[in-house]
Amino acid sequence: MKAEAAAATDVEFIVVITTVPTRADADRLAGLLVGGGLAACVNIHAPVSSVYRWRGRIEREAETMMWIKSLRVNYGRIEALIAEHHSHELPEIIALPVLHAEKGYGDWLRTHSQGSPADT
């Protein structure tokens, strides 16, 4: 178990997941992330149904889910950008490690997640 925890810190690529109220919100946020070089790709899934507990009640809501593919070193900046532009009081922002990526895709992801816009 200890070796697995150590390996997680070596992860280079992540997928950050967040949900936003509308497709327009997702499109705007994706443009900021990809345009700013913080993410190589953002998948937008809509609609998704969310069921969650909030302030003592069970809520049900249609939302738009985003999968943001990036480098682990960008997480703090991605989290800050989402929080700044998100309309929810407590937005979902979580990151999952990518344990394996095809070499060519990994190279592309690395190139386009360097924190500044890239052309290729």
Can you name the residues that pair with 71 across neighbouring β-strands? 13
**Do you know the residue count of the chain?**
120
Indicate which CATH number applies to the domain containing 100.
3.30.70.120
Q: What are the structure tokens assigned to 26, written together?
A: 């997702």
With respect to residue 83, please indicate whether it lies within any of the assigned structural domains.
yes
Residue 3's pLDDT is what?
Answer: 46
pLDDT at 5 over 50: no
Domain hosting residue 69, numbered range: 13-111
With respect to residue 5, please indicate whether it lies within any of the assigned structural domains.
no
Residues 6+ apart with CB under 8 A from 116: 36, 37
CA gap 10, 120 in Å, rounded: 26
Average pLDDT on 11-19 reads 96
pTM for the whole structure: 0.88
Specify whether the CB–CB gap between 51 and 58 falls below 8 A. Answer: yes
The number of distinct structural domains making up the chain is: 1
pLDDT at 97 over 70: yes
With respect to residue 47, please indicate whether it lies within any of the assigned structural domains.
yes
pLDDT category at 117 given cuts 50, 70, 90 is low
pLDDT at 28 over 90: yes
Residue 4's pLDDT is what?
Answer: 47
With respect to residue 41, please indicate whether it lies within any of the assigned structural domains.
yes
Cα torsion angle, 25, 28, 31, 36, sign = negative
Q: Between these two residues, 66 and 118, which has the higher pLDDT value?
A: 66
pLDDT at 95 over 70: yes
pLDDT category at 118 given cuts 50, 70, 90 is low
With respect to residue 106, please indicate whether it lies within any of the assigned structural domains.
yes
